[in-house]
Amino acid sequence: MKTTDKAIDQIIDKNIVLRTENMTMQFGGVVAVDNLHLTIREHQIVALIGPNGAGKTTAFNMITGVYTPSSGKIFLQGEDITGMKPDKITRMGVARTFQNIRLFKDLTVFENIIIAKHFSMKSNVLSATLRLPGAVREEKRMREESEALLERMGLADVRNDIANSLPYGQQRHLEIARALATSPNLLLLDEPAAGMNPQETEDLTASIKQIQQDFNLTVFLIEHHMDLVMEISDRIYVLDFGQTIGKGTPGEIQNNQRVVEAYLGVDDDAEN
């Protein structure tokens, strides 16, 4: 992006955190995401919904640098991040959780957090190995922040438990805690309530709202639990076979005939 374009963009709207322009991903003959335009503003909670195979996770994978879009652009805080590597995008303030839990299963809860912290730390491995003063201070700060995060996420009591031994709901919370450990501005959650019962889903909904406020976050989430989506979203995008078939407020989406026919009308309990 040219400097002038960037400046103009900032004048038009300073508070856009994420913007995609014609973001497209093609796998062979399949257009998994077709010309997706997203605009996500600071402190919003935005949902991406649609049937299985609609292209939701693929959209996340492009935003986080796992895939480079076949065409189109992605801007983070006005900066073009299209094709950047995932670790760089993480350091720019984007964190995510995965549709299938991806914890370090055999490590403790605390170790899962501290590893994520290390991933986002400034000192390099060499200065840490040499125990240079800056690295020692940073290590201490990271440990304290990790303890605080576990406390905040209700995981302090299980800090020494092996991740795999936690009940499913707590593993999902640990995944979110681990994402928060990299101090993101933008948090992407891929089906955080997958496999949860109604009570757990309700607790998670409250938890996401609270985290969003406490950590001053912008949240972009994929979810099939419509109660959760309709309750917490400021805006919703609906994908179907890669196409954007609806966007708007929860009220607008619930009254969007095309969305109701393609997705909301069907019983999605069978999906996962």
Ligand X SMILES: Nc1ncnc2c1ncn2[C@@H]1O[C@H](COP(=O)(O)OP(=O)(O)O)[C@@H](O)[C@H]1O
Is the CB of 150 or the CB of 228 nearer to ligand X?
228
| DSSP-assigned letters across all residues of 93-148 | TEEE--SS----TTSBHHHHHHHHHHHH-SS-HHHHHTT-HHHHHHHHHHHHHHHH
Total residues interacting with ligand X, rule: CB under 6 A: 11
Answer yes or no: are the C-beta atoms of 111 and 140 closer than 8 Å.
Answer: no
Contacts 24+ apart (CB under 8 A), 87-91: 87/119, 89/63, 89/64, 89/65, 90/64, 90/119, 90/120, 90/182, 90/184, 91/120
Asked if 233 touches Mg ion (CB under 5 A), the answer is no
Q: Which of 10, 15, 22, 52 binds ligand X (CB under 6 A)?
A: 52
Q: Which stretch binds ligand X (CB under 6 A): 46-54, 144-152, 249-257, 261-269?
A: 46-54
Question: CB of 56: closest distance to Mg ion in angstroms?
Answer: 5
Q: Which stretch binds ligand X (CB under 6 A): 49-57, 164-172, 176-184, 247-255?
A: 49-57
Partner touching 32 among ligand X, Mg ion, none, CB below 5 to 8 Å by kind: ligand X
Asked if 272 touches ligand X (CB under 6 A), the answer is no
Total residues interacting with Mg ion, rule: CB under 5 A: 3
H or E stretch including 226? helix 226-232
Partner touching 113 among ligand X, Mg ion, none, CB below 5 to 8 Å by kind: none
Tokens of 203: 């607790």
Hey, which residues does 33 pair with through a beta bridge?
25
Question: CB of 23: closest distance to ligand X in angstroms?
Answer: 12
Question: CB of 26: closest distance to ligand X in angstroms?
Answer: 9
Question: CB of 99: closest distance to Mg ion in angstroms?
Answer: 5
CA separation for the pair 40, 20 (Å, rounded):
9
Question: CB of 271: closest distance to Mg ion in angstroms?
Answer: 10
Question: CB of 55: closest distance to ligand X in angstroms?
Answer: 4
Asked if 32 touches ligand X (CB under 6 A), the answer is yes
Answer yes or no: are the C-beta atoms of 36 and 244 closer than 8 Å.
Answer: yes
Q: Which of 20, 24, 44, 57 binds Mg ion (CB under 5 A)?
A: 57
CA separation for the pair 113, 100 (Å, rounded):
18
